[in-house]
Every structure is written in C-alpha cells, then in structure tokens.
Amino acid sequence: MNAYSRFGAVRARYQNVDLASRVEGASPHGLVSILLDELMKSMEAMAAACNRRDFTQRGAAQARALNMLNGLESSLDFEEGGEIAQSLASIYREARRLTLAG
C-alpha cells in the first residue's frame, strides 16, 4: 500500500468518525440536514468518478447516494407532513430513479 492510499484510508476513517459523532447528537431535523449534506457529497463524488471513468468509485458513490435518498424518504411523516411529505417523497423517488440511471 502506498502513502497515498494509506492517507485515503485514514481520511475515510476520520470522515466516518466525524459523521458518526454528528449523527449521535443530532435532532430529527439535524439528521435530515446531515442526510441532505451526505447526499450532495455522494452525488458530487459520483459525478467526479464518472468524469475520471472510475466505475468502482462511481458505484460506491451511487450506492451511498441511494442510501441517503432511502433515509430521507423513510424519515417522512405522512400524517403530519401531508402534501409536503407527499411532494418530497415524489422528489426523492425521482432522484433515486435518476441516480440509478447514472
């Protein structure tokens, strides 16, 4: 393993610890904000990987984005949220469809 890949592994572990600590103390609204932030990061990583033709990283970023979209949709409260929750669910489903289309 070269120094660059070791740095990447250490960086990934740090990011996971940082994310876990943010999630642990977050309110429900804070969790949605974290999911949206992570979704955007995943989409950006997916686009960058496509530009590099790195299909392994693209697949990993795509899977992460889909997980974030699933988390966002599962957080919706259709009883309390009514029409807004329905609209968000439609947006998340369309985003999932487009993400799968790559």
Q: Look up residue 8 and give its amino acid.
A: G
Band of the pLDDT at 15, cuts 50, 70, 90?
low
Which domains does the chain possess? 28-101 (1.20.120.340)
- Number of alpha carbons in the 13 Å side-chain half-sphere of residue 34: 19
Q: Look at residue 3 and tell me whether its pLDDT is greater than 80.
A: no
Q: Look at residue 9 and tell me whether its pLDDT is greater than 70.
A: no
Give the whole-angstrom CA distance, residue 58 versus residue 60: 5
Residue with tokens 């029409």: 83
Residues 42 and 68 sit within 8 Å (Cβ to Cβ): yes
Task: Please report the pLDDT score of residue 26 as a whole number.
Answer: 76
Residues 45 and 36 sit within 8 Å (Cβ to Cβ): no
